[in-house]
Structure formats: structure tokens, C-alpha cells
Structure 1
């Protein structure tokens, strides 16, 4: 029987690349996301080589999440890895100019959604026990602040601390927990954040060498493939061409 991975936000970026990486290794896939047409396309693409179960899902809806997990077919009921990838950033403007709804949307997806899915899938991971993995996709923004990071960075700080606290509670269960914190990576991330502004996306990633979705998918697969006695608590992954900025200092003109 092949191992099973449950991936949220599988319709683009890290999630889609992760689905492809695990499929290449022969894992069965549970893929969730809001865009059903993309889920169906992934199922068509990968289903010829591995079993694929898809579920259109808004992770912020706790009832829908619980129902989706309860309705998993028997072949997908034993879960070896959960990849909590669903998340987004909005409104890169200064906090004082941002609409409150954008803050709530980030909290609902990045925090509430993470909690909903983890709570629903955790009993199945506990049944699997030794070697099971929870991979939470954080961000360097959860550790290092920057202008316009406001709620997005705070939500990723939650991911980090939630992951650490889960480790404490699960220490005797065999279930591993990892916070993977990427730096700048060229996906649809900036297009979502800027309401489809292609020029802004091109400017962010241009003239440098960012990470790719495949780079992060490889790290996720690596962590899940480690011997069961090894747990990576946090993995911060950045491009070679990204480092830390100096302190910002406001000066009189």
C-alpha cells in the first residue's frame, strides 16, 4: 500500500509542485483547494500514475473541512503526511491604509484554516503514528518583519509557534511537525497579493534568482522522507541572493 499525503492549497504554487513531487515518488494524493477546475486538471495529470482524491475546499470553513476528512474513501483513510500549504498574503501597503477585510481574510486562511485542517486530520495521523508528518508552510516573514508585512507576517509567526507547540504535545506519538519557512519564491503569490498586478510581480522577481515552487516541494518531500526518528523543527529556505536588510531609520529632512 502506498503512503498517502494530504495537501491543502494544491491548485497552484507550492501545493501543486508538492503534489507532483509526491506523485513522482509513488505516494497517493489527497488534494484540496478552492478552484475545482485546477483540481480536476491535476487529477487528470497525475491520476494515471498514482491514486488521486480531490475535494473542493475552503479551509476557513471548519464544518466543510471536517466533512471532507470524514468522507475520505477507504483507500485514502490512512494518512502519512499533512501539508498545510493553503495560505495567502494581501495588501502590501502600510497597515494604516489597508482594508480590515484583507486582514480578516489572511487570518481566516493562514491561521483559522491551518487550525481547522490540523484538528480534522490529526486523529488519522495519530493512527498512523511513527513516521507520520505535519508540514506547515510558514515564511521568513514570520521571523523577520518588513514594511507591509503587518498581518501576513503575524500569521506566519503563528504558524511557527503553533508548529513548535504541536511538537511538544505530540512528542510521544511518533508524529513529526515541521515549519518550512520559504523566502522569496516566484509563484502566483505576488499576483494574488497585488490583485493581479503582473508588473509588480515582474519587478519583485526580476533581475534576481528567486526560489521556485519545485525547490520548496523538494524540501517538503525531503522532510517527510527522513527516517522516523528524525524531526526537523523549522527549515528556513531562502535564495542565495536573499539576506537580511539593515534597520530602517526615519530622519528629519
Structure 2
């Protein structure tokens, strides 16, 4: 934690979507270590409770305090997202940092089922945009705020077997870039984190529950893990208010592109 100026995050309120596992869960725990309040949003209520327990342990471990709010919500459903600000307000908090982490991929077919395509766009693009618009209004009103969007190497370069997922992440990157320009006359920071190969349950979902196939992607190579990306998210959020890390591209050392990597 020595690389972070944690004083800048003490007492801030961070909303994290997809907080029930993977990068979202790791990010929640790391923000707790900085003394930030947490608003954890996800569909899986039991998983959220487990993350809350870990965050509370993290507060104690560093001698800091913070409030943890759990909101069971599906980012695909605008009605779930619309009530989030009121729920946060009722807890006496106001969001300072929005981390749009929720995202998913299902399948590697170039012609997938319509339901899978819709789910990916609703989760990765439409829900993210809707929630961002909600908080942009709040951030403009108070003239402060940070938006961190979890993109992907798939948003930089398309690859075979990822046509729909790549399309969603290209859309996210375009949205992030346009929003950065649209808010240039405000103090609101707009950040995109673009990870390469990260080993989480995300890959198991991609291969429709086939863990063996998901694990094979990383054999012979040391991939990134959720905690690696959590560090980058918290680091960007902890920069001085006048510093905006607009885009951060993060790879394991033996990966160069979506398809070019070295395995022993």
C-alpha cells in the first residue's frame, strides 16, 4: 500500500458494480484498506455478504473505519439502477467514485444465441452507460467525481472467437473516450482500465462452466489475478484531483496482444 496516498481516499464513498467476485471483490477489499466507504452492487446476495465480511476485516487490519452498503441489483435492469442513488442517500452517503466493473462474456461462437448477445450488451454496455449517466448528473452538481470503467484488451484489438465481446468492449472504450471529451470542462475524472489475461471465474463463464477449458487458457503462463487489477483501480482513484489516468493498459509480462503470448 505504500504506493498509494491513502489519505486522499479516506471517507470517500466508492460504488463498485459486479462486486460479488473476481476483480470487483478484490477492489472492494483494497478500497476498504484505504478507509473508503463501500457501496457494493451485484446480483448474488450471499456472495456480497462474504465480500462485506472481508472488507470489514480489512478495515480492522489497518485500523480504519468505513461503512459498507450492499445493494442486490442486476445492471441489465434499469429499474434496479435507478433506485441506487436513493438507497445510498438513505444510508447517509454520497458516491464520490463510480467503478463500473460488472461485465461478462458467454461463448466463443462468432454466431451466438440472441439471448447471449443481448445479455452481453445489456451488461457490458447499456447498463454501464445508464448507471454512468445517473452519477454524471450528481458529479456535475457537486463539481467532483471519478468514473472508472473496466474495459479490456478486447476493446483495443478484435480477435477470433470474441466477436460479440470485442464489440461490447469497443463500445465501452468509445463511450469512455467520448465522455472524457464531453466532461473536459468539469473536474470529473474519466478513466478506463484495459486488462489483458486475468484469471478469474470470468473465464469459466466464457466457456459455459467448463473449468478445465478455462484453466487451459492460462497453462504455461502467469496471468494477472484480480488483485493486480484492483491495485490499478485504486491507484488511479488515489491520484491527486488534477491528475486523470485516462487509460491504463495492463498485461501479464508474457502477453503482447489478445492472441500473442508466450507459454512455457
* TM-score of the pair, normalised by structure 1: 0.91
CA distance in 2, matches of 1:172, 1:75: 31
CA distance in 2, matches of 1:136, 1:212: 18
Q: Counterpart of 2:244 in 1: which secondary structure? A: coil
Residue deviations 1:50-107 (CA, integer Å, cap 9, x gap):
21001001011112101122221455532211000001011112x13x2121111101
Across the aligned residues of Structure 1 and Structure 2, the Cα RMSD in angstroms comes to 1.5
User: Any residues of structure 2 matched to 1:137-156 within 5 Å, and which?
Assistant: 137-156=150-169
Aligned counterpart, 1:249: none
For these two proteins, the number of residue pairs brought into alignment is 243
4+ residue runs over 6 A deviation? none
* TM-score of the pair, normalised by structure 2: 0.88
Taking structure 1 as reference, are residues 176 and 38 closer, same or farther at Cα in structure 2, changes over 3 Å only? same
Matched, 1:234 2:247: yes
User: Is contact 2:29–2:54 with CA below 8 Å preserved after alignment?
Assistant: no
Tell me the CA shift for residue 239 of structure 1: 0.6
Aligned counterpart, 2:209: 196
Tell me the CA shift for residue 122 of structure 1: 2.0
State which of 15, 19, 29 in structure 2 corresponds to 1:20.
Answer: 29
Residue deviations 1:108-154 (CA, integer Å, cap 9, x gap):
10011101211222223234434x21000000001111111111001
CA distance in 2, matches of 1:36, 1:124: 27
Aligned counterpart, 2:6: none
- In structure 1, runs of 5+ residues without a counterpart are 247-253
Q: Counterpart of 1:55 in 2: which secondary structure? A: strand
Q: Counterpart of 1:199 in 2: which secondary structure? A: helix
User: Any residues of structure 2 matched to 1:33-182 within 5 Å, and which?
Assistant: 33-47=42-56, 49=59, 50-75=66-91, 77-93=93-109, 95-96=110-111, 98-130=112-144, 132-182=145-195
User: Is contact 2:41–2:73 with CA below 8 Å preserved after alignment?
Assistant: yes
CA distance in 2, matches of 1:77, 1:167: 26
Taking structure 1 as reference, are residues 42 and 128 closer, same or farther at Cα in structure 2, changes over 3 Å only? farther
CA distance in 2, matches of 1:13, 1:84: 13
Aligned counterpart, 2:63: none
